[in-house]
Structure 1
């Protein structure tokens, strides 16, 4: 994987925004081509989605009294989340939106790591939901950095007493923030995190490498825009 400074070079030449996009007739035609070329792969994904849906639909949790019951319920809720992500990814891929497919793949892995933890450790369910308290404190702390009208309501709600009580609860209960890295490690998926997850993160954050899909160089090494088409 070369550095980005090697991936693109900039020379003295006019750069013009080009590319007709996904909503144009040409873009839609290209998407149909991609769909036809990858039909077997898309059908395989459809079958996988159908299998997961059938499995989840066959499950029944008769009571909600024990930790194990609640574990099963949350696992089913997460299965619904996984199905939605997979269905969205299929629609996105069939339209050739490869950057957005990468985004959804990373979201899928986030959910996969969480679900794997839920299914393998009953006690994780409580820790998972308590992680929202850490996220809540983070939002409150961020809001306190601003005095504008946008944050007025939350700053009025999040009094010093509420903030301190929340901070105290988090410290006393040793609540950990949501961490895909930790969740992946818990279930033996560190290699997946450090490979596929990290690579898919580029387009989520619009890192420099995510821009490669939109540009290329002409014969003289000038950067040109001509890749706003399904790929």
Structure 2
């Protein structure tokens, strides 16, 4: 696939085909992306506004991840696009959940619990001689400070499911997020897309060619995530967004119906 450069003639042909076959979806995605970027350019967050900083950074992370997934989709890398879209979903969950100030505070202080887990894992690697503690950061004083932070804030770990529920997107967690996890963890079922199956149902060979079969569904997922992220950020920062949400959501509904009718 990479012979002759990253964008070989084969890949360039796939890019053109992907855009042609899903022109209306790409058009809406680019439109929503422009809207999201216009919001990002208007954001003003004071350094002491922790909630605002968390919402703004989750928003930026979400739209950047969706943009990355679209680049992959244009090249027919659907499995890799699912990996990035799942990451985008985690940012989207955090963004929407942190519209609630109380939950945002819980999420921020939960970082100390994760720091302790990472400390213990790194400690095991050092003890086993896998890596050296070159900077001398794995000290008892460092661990004591982390534990003091946990005790002071009474922080508890939050799972992705917890954050998705707080975001009002638990159905997304149970459905789309779970399905995309197969690509993240490279399950056996996910590997079937690299197999060529003959008419008799037997495996005829292996392939690493671009795949456009899943492009429409993944583009729809990209649009939905970008739209939810943009309108959530607009709502938090006080920008008028309801008219835009209703208009673009209706446009997406019509495109979904058109895809289902194919």
Query: Number of residues paired by the alignment?
Result: 206
- Shift, 1:209, TM fit: 1.7
**Moved >6 Å (runs of 4+):** none
Find out whether 1:45 has 2:25 as its counterpart: no
- TM (norm. structure 2) is 0.70
Cα separation, 2, equivalents of 1:168 and 1:105: 36
Higher RCO (CA < 8 A, seq sep 6+):
1
Which of structures 1 and 2 has the bigger CA Rg?
Answer: 1
Find out whether 1:229 has 2:213 as its counterpart: no
Deviations 1:25-70 (A, max 9, x none): 3343233212221122112111111111112323334x444xxx33
Q: Give the counterpart of 1:175 among 155, 165, 174.
A: 155
Find out whether 1:57 has 2:37 as its counterpart: no
Find out whether 1:134 has 2:134 as its counterpart: no
The answer to whether the Cα contact below 8 Å between 1:45 and 1:90 also exists between their aligned partners in 2 is no
Cα separation, 2, equivalents of 1:56 and 1:27: 32
Q: Name 2:16's counterpart in structure 1.
A: 32
Q: Name 1:7's counterpart in structure 2.
A: none
Task: Summarize the Cα distance change of 1:169–1:89 in structure 2 as closer, same or farther, 3 Å threshold.
Answer: same
Q: Could you say what the CA RMSD is over the residues aligned between the two structures, in angstroms?
A: 2.3
Q: What SS does the aligned partner of 1:144 have?
A: helix
The gaps in structure 1 that reach 5 residues or longer are: 1-19
- Shift, 1:168, TM fit: 4.5
Task: Summarize the Cα distance change of 1:134–1:185 in structure 2 as closer, same or farther, 3 Å threshold.
Answer: same
Deviations 1:182-228 (A, max 9, x none): 00111322111000010011111111121011113234544243431
Cα separation, 1, equivalents of 2:53 and 2:149: 26
Deviates more, 1:207-216 or 1:163-172: 163-172
